[in-house]
Structure 1
């Protein structure tokens, strides 16, 4: 998920924060991150329920009471904790698939299938909860049940047209939330100003990153991070929308951008000189992935319209609009927004 190595590279500008410091603030929460945390408890509950629930075919289906509760437990605990300190949570859920992320989603399906196979053949015995957790997919039915449960407590839940990341950024950029909670460092590249990662619900502590502090980081020195060009580094180093080139991870990408004085085209020229194979179509694919960070589809609940996170460049064609999720009609986006009510 996200950009490998970026969170570690930013360790020098992370600050430990207790959620009590968010008293009076509006907190946007990437709900799917918490649902994925709950998968292990979900699988464990399935194993404990009864022999009939231990089949791999039952994974991904609507769970029984114990499994359902285990899946939702991290979200329920976070909502309780935020309310206890006087913060106002808003949960944002992923919506439909983002075409620009098709390759990543295929890879993740393959990984789940592999985990399911390993669980099926593990030591000729009942599969472990850890193996089963890796095989669990969070289905729309699971998410819908979560939304219904959370909304019954009076907490706001939003379903994004595509990814929660872009919708959270829309809320942050429009002063609708003050800070976001996620496990995905991509939120900084989308434009969120404050993001809390690695929240330990038992202690209430996590590591906060602020976009304004990125320039102080020396984790990728001599390259100096810039909030406005962070997405360039994310794409060049490999992200969910474009895999990294062989031998071109985050640190190499930072070095190339430093030597190229921030120019992506110069960085790619340098990469070729150093023997890194850069396919002829890579420049086009880079530009498309870069657009995902700046212009992915979001839903504006005030205008009741689908729109890009930021205005599209004049050069964006129908193909780009499709990759960004902007081919969804306004009415369909609004229906999706209301779907889980």
Structure 2
């Protein structure tokens, strides 16, 4: 989940902190990819209807996650981008209650999914239910890591949360940015986040949306926050380690923090009945423990030096895994191997020559922090949060009506399930000029 409502809030409150982006802007860059979000997306695709038969092996086990990771990795390499895939480790103890609640939600969603399939509901309804009920197993992750390593791509197993490891890799200069939909990567201190790089949001919302690069330093400057304050703000908005407070959104959280000066004071105010009407703190709402996780999470790599370097692909190993172990179509696998061979060949798009020169982000002039807003009186009303407005969109793509995978407009069939492109399958995106952060 990440931080509830944080990105829509930044769109309105800190527009200088992000810019619209696209894949080709990261040619020569090394990016840390939070693998968990992709895993859920690809495993949801296999359960959305008629395309499922192309995304399973002969025993009915899903292979969509393997196919999805290969295609995404190939697109990155063909754009000259160097991915480092980060997989979750053991979650913090504080996440146990949240994970238990999510399991119950998945069980309920599984019933909704079965009913939607049985009643012939729309593909969007089936996809939403599939997304909420998808379970990622250890076997799914291990098979994916095995395949990525055969492609010669670096895989890092996080000691804890993948977002924390992404943040630390970015802070230490191993990667340029973290690719993830979870906004808590900023709360963990990642200098840069790339959100929606492959139009994940558009796939969910049936409306194409651009990628965005978010700059943490500018977030802090625009909001007049320190890193400790953005952590407290994120906890109040809603994070993965505590129950979400009712009637509490980012705007409300920001006003309460301005009025009270700290999260500790906000907690006292809410307990005294001075928060939003109907907002009650659950028993043992240990915000201090949650704050420690965000502060210490990026440091959990310790003295371990992660290996972010690419290795030579093992084409025979890839062929064996995909064709023999997971029963992929051999001709399709050969096409994958040809694309990988071309991208990784000397002089190819994914040639690592000179990549070190791209590690450092370009220097940007500092913004002068805006004057801090006036402190609200304790009697001033607190406005309840509302939704953010939509954003402009980029390059043309079309969405497969069978498996919901977003494809390049030039493709005549879906890259994921091979369903032919139908007329007007996805509205064309309007070309826009990327926003310059220094304007």
TM range (shorter): 0.7 to 0.9
How far is the alpha carbon of 1:160 from its aligned partner? Answer: 1.2
Structure 1, unaligned stretches of length 5 or more?
Answer: 54-61, 218-222, 305-341
Residues 91 and 66 of structure 1: CA distance in aligned 2, closer, same or farther (over 3 Å): farther
- Post-superposition shift, 1:158? 1.1
> How far did 1:239 drift?
0.8
Q: 1:201 to 1:266 in 2, by over 3 A?
A: closer
Structure 1 pair 302/124, CA: closer, same or farther in 2 (3 Å)?
closer
Take 1:241 and 1:21, find their aligned partners in 2: how far apart are those partners?
34
Equivalent residues in 2 for 1:178-257, closer than 5 Å: 178-200=176-198, 206-217=211-222, 224-257=224-257
Q: 1:83 aligns with which of 77, 84, 88?
A: 77
Residue pair 1:18, 1:204 contacting (<8 A) in 2 also: no
In the alignment, which residue of structure 2 is the partner of 1:112? 106
Report the Cα offset of residue 267 of structure 1.
Answer: 2.2
Normalised TM-score (structure 2): 0.59
**What is the root-mean-square deviation of aligned Cα atoms in Å?**
3.0
**Contact 1:78–1:201 (8 Å) recurs in 2:** no
In the alignment, is the contact (CA less than 8 A) between 2:40 and 2:136 conserved in 1? yes
CA contact (8 A) 1:41 1:67 kept: no
Q: Is the 8 Å Cα contact of residues 182 and 196 (structure 1) preserved in structure 2? A: yes
Give the match's secondary structure for 2:47.
helix
| Corresponding position of 1:220 | none
Aligned in 2, Cα 1:290/1:79: closer, same or farther, shift over 3 Å?
Answer: same
- Answer yes or no: is the 8 Å Cα contact 1:77–1:201 preserved in 2: no
Does residue 20 of structure 2 align to residue 16 of structure 1? yes
Q: How does 1:31-180 map to 2 (within 5 A)?
A: 31-44=35-48, 48-49=52-53, 68-122=62-116, 124-125=118-119, 129-130=126-127, 131-180=129-178
Q: Once the two structures are superposed, what CA deviation does each residue of 1:6-64 show, in whole Å capped at 9, x if it has no partner?
A: 010111232111222212221000011111111232224797439xx9xxxxxxxx965
Q: Check whether the contact 1:42–1:133 (CA below 8 A) recurs between aligned residues.
A: no
Q: Is the 8 A contact 1:20 1:85 kept in 2?
A: yes
Report the more deviating stretch, 199-208 or 155-164. 199-208
Give the drift of 1:264.
Answer: 1.9
* Closer/same/farther in 2, CA of residues 45 and 147 from structure 1, 3 Å limit: farther
TM-score norm. by structure 1 comes to: 0.74
Deviation, 1:66, is 8.5
The equivalent residue for 1:312 is: none
Point out which structure has higher relative CO (alpha carbons under 8 A, 6+ apart): 2
1: CA distance, partners of 2:10 / 2:158:
28
| Contact 1:43/1:67 (8 A) holds in 2 | no
Change (3 A) 1:46 1:93: farther
How far, CA to CA, are the matches of 2:34 and 2:61 in structure 1?
21
What is the CA-CA distance between 1:89 and the residue it aligns to?
0.8
| Post-superposition offset of 1:279 | 5.6
Unaligned 5+ segments in structure 2 are 201-207, 307-439
In terms of fraction of residues, the more helix-rich structure is 1
Q: Which of the two has greater strand per residue?
A: 1
Question: What are the Cα deviations for residues 114-171 of structure 1, in whole angstroms up to 9, with x where unaligned?
Answer: 1111233347457875234432201110011111111111000111122101111221
Q: Distance in 2 between matches of 1:48 and 1:215?
A: 44
**Structure 1 residues 145, 260: closer, same or farther in 2, change over 3 A?**
same
1:21–1:67 distance in 2 versus 1, CA, 3 Å: farther
Q: Distance in 1 between matches of 2:176 and 2:40?
A: 24
- Find 1:30's aligned residue among 30, 34, 37: 34
Q: Tell me which structure has the larger Cα radius of gyration.
A: 2
- Measure, in 1, the Cα distance between the counterparts of 2:60 and 2:210: 27
Residue 68 and residue 279 in structure 1: after superposition, are their counterparts in 2 closer, same or farther (change >3 A)?
closer
| CA-to-aligned-CA distance 1:202-251 (integer Å, 9 cap, x gap) | 9995111010110354xxxxx64444421111112221111233333322
8 Å CA contact 1:19, 1:205 repeated in 2:
no
Secondary structure of 2:300's aligned partner: strand
